[in-house]
A and B are shown apart, each in its own frame.
Chain A
Amino acid sequence: MSTDRTDVIVGIDLGTTNSLVAYADERGPRVIYTSGDGVPDNGMVPSVVAIDPAGGGVEVGASARRHAIERPEVTVYSIKRLMGRGFEDVQGERGRLPYRVVRRPGSEGRDIAAVEIGDRVYSPPEISAFVLADLKRRAERHFERPIRKAIITVPAYFDDAQRQATRDAGRIAGLEVVRIINEPTAAALAYGLDRTEEATVAVYDLGGGTFDVSILRLAGGTFEVLSTHGDTHLGGDDFDWEIIRLVQQEVRQRFGQHLEFPPATLQALRNLAEAVKISLSGQEQVTFEIDLGEGRTFHRQLSRSELEKMIEPYVQRTLDSCTRALADAKLATGQIDQVVLVGGSTRIPYVRRRLEQYFGRQPYSALNPDEVVALGAAVQASVMAGMKREVLLLDVVPLSLGIETLGGAVAKLILRNTRVPCQATEMFTTFIDGQTSIKLTVLQGERELAQDCRSLGEFELRGIPPMPAGAPKVQVTFLIDQNGILHVSAKEQRSGKEASIQVIPAHGLTRDEVRQMEKDAYAHAREDMMAHRLIDVRNQVTFDTAKTEQALAKAGPTLDADLRRRIVEAMANLRKMAETATDPEALNQALQDFDRMTVPLAEHAVAQALKEAQWERHE
């Protein structure tokens, strides 16, 4: 697909907790601080989607989050944790999420975690697409034109399935995802723009649900990732849950072990825990009270040091990741010139303190850690749009890629932290005479056994010419592109025949499924557009009829009585129609007719005004 040079490309940070959209112009990157309805805000759209199971529509962002307590079972948050994951993978998450997580039906041979609301099942890309569509609308409002292209950021440690799911979400939202970039790399882009001297930087990105660390070498506009490590299930959410668990435990000790926490209470507790955590970044202790009903009140004072003790194991895990990333980059902590902080959770003083001890230098956070990833995505967007040539981004693949061999072992083809794009080729043959297809299981991960790695799916090479067993030589090329997404192609060497490849993604959607969702979403968007248009036309009817009423009053007895009667009648009809209309275009037509009919009234008003003016002049 060729890219239209005039198209705006936006940069999107699709976060676990919040999402932002940014763009870059000649003055640099900036976040869009106005909602799709033109309301100014802080640019952060909570990654929350509330779906009315009765078919009443979808709310996104702050308005959806307000429903979280009243209707927790239809309010979806932290969907990023389910992206590209199997139902089996997310068992640990289920207890935390008040909405229903199920195995997506109709996905033979695959295992996809999905969300059930009412009688509909939504895959994670569909939920994320609602957030993306909201960000798209923001950008469209800002630019006053359709936006079709975006760069979306993902945690550096996202595997192929999680990246594909993110790209699918973009597609469902009507966005061509021209590039997926890693969040820490994006942050470095936002920071390192004007840097000319060479420096080695560690980007420490602790967000709501994910953690990444990337080691980069920056020199004259080149952003070269040396290594990356992380955990796609470690973030500020975990700290909240430590507080929630503590409260639950103590509440039960006091009021009885049988005490249940229904979804609404759990949601309230979640909001409280987050607020407590944030407060403890600024003050030494926080006092809170929970009304449990029936005259039971739980009162607690929590100190910063208590919180620090609770989150210590998590912070230690992030430092272990730093150690691995440094080892892979063949660097010591002393060789890092700067430690850059990204993500809301790096506001926690304990995180900063431990990092400072670890690296032996004060971490750096000149830019808002919530915005820096979106800003970096916008910088890359201007590179992709051909506006900027001085930036060169060289990133790596976070996880090794391999294939399952006989006996369940893994043959690694591409090692982790290999620069992308990269490719590996491997020869395969047949075991049976006349065999025309070969099945491969492709895996990502560092472990030696296939069962300990993540399966990306089954690739079936078809169309191999029938030959005796062992005779075909099928050369399979595994290419990981600059986005960290795998492409597989195969060729039978003796016949030179290109083998076709049927892919069954282990945890992902097929191309046809994504296409169908895209179509459905487009239809929904049309419905939404109709609803918006109807509201607009109705408002215009109210406005025009009110003006006509004023004009009629002002015209007084000089207006032709017959004309007056006809206008009053038409006005009543139009108002009645506006109340019941479902088709905005029909209503608009009626409005146009009405406006035409009131032209003589307007002319009458003008003539009268002229007469008055002349009269004034004569005086």
Chain B
Amino acid sequence: MKMRMTSIAAIALALSLTAGCATRRAERPIDPPTETEVTPNDGLGNDGSQEGGPGSRADFLRSVPADRVFFELDSYSIDGEDRATLDAQAAWLQRYPNVRVTIEGHADERGTREYNLGLGDRRANAARDYLQSRGVSPDRMTVISWGKERPQNPASNEEAWAQNRRAVTVVPQ
């Protein structure tokens, strides 16, 4: 009995020589950034806007037919209705040349995560390119893709998907 215990322990020890160094230090939590955000992009469009005067987000939302344009499945083309919307946005931006905007590109849930990041980027760029063609300086526009991470409508149906395939022009509050 004593002999056997010893031999088992010896075997175990011998076998463990390649195993003993396996303990690694646990990964430490990653601290959040501490920089102050001027206009943090949260992917929530023009949500939470308050009353505001000329050149404000509220003024923008009052002045244009929509803050966003919509796309067909897997498409990034700007159609006639989109052009009317973007024309009005461009006219407003011409009136307030100091306003800088962010254009969010979004996709519906029917694409894979990474592909949708590329697709959202395409859509935001399509809207930006059109605004630029209407005289808005590209220096005033930042694009960001949110892929399928920020759906406008969380439902899984055609109506929701159509609402989620969008490019939103976001004006600072």
Please determine whether chains A and B interact with each other in the same assembly: no
Enumerate chain B interface residues (CB-CB to A < 8 A).
Answer: none
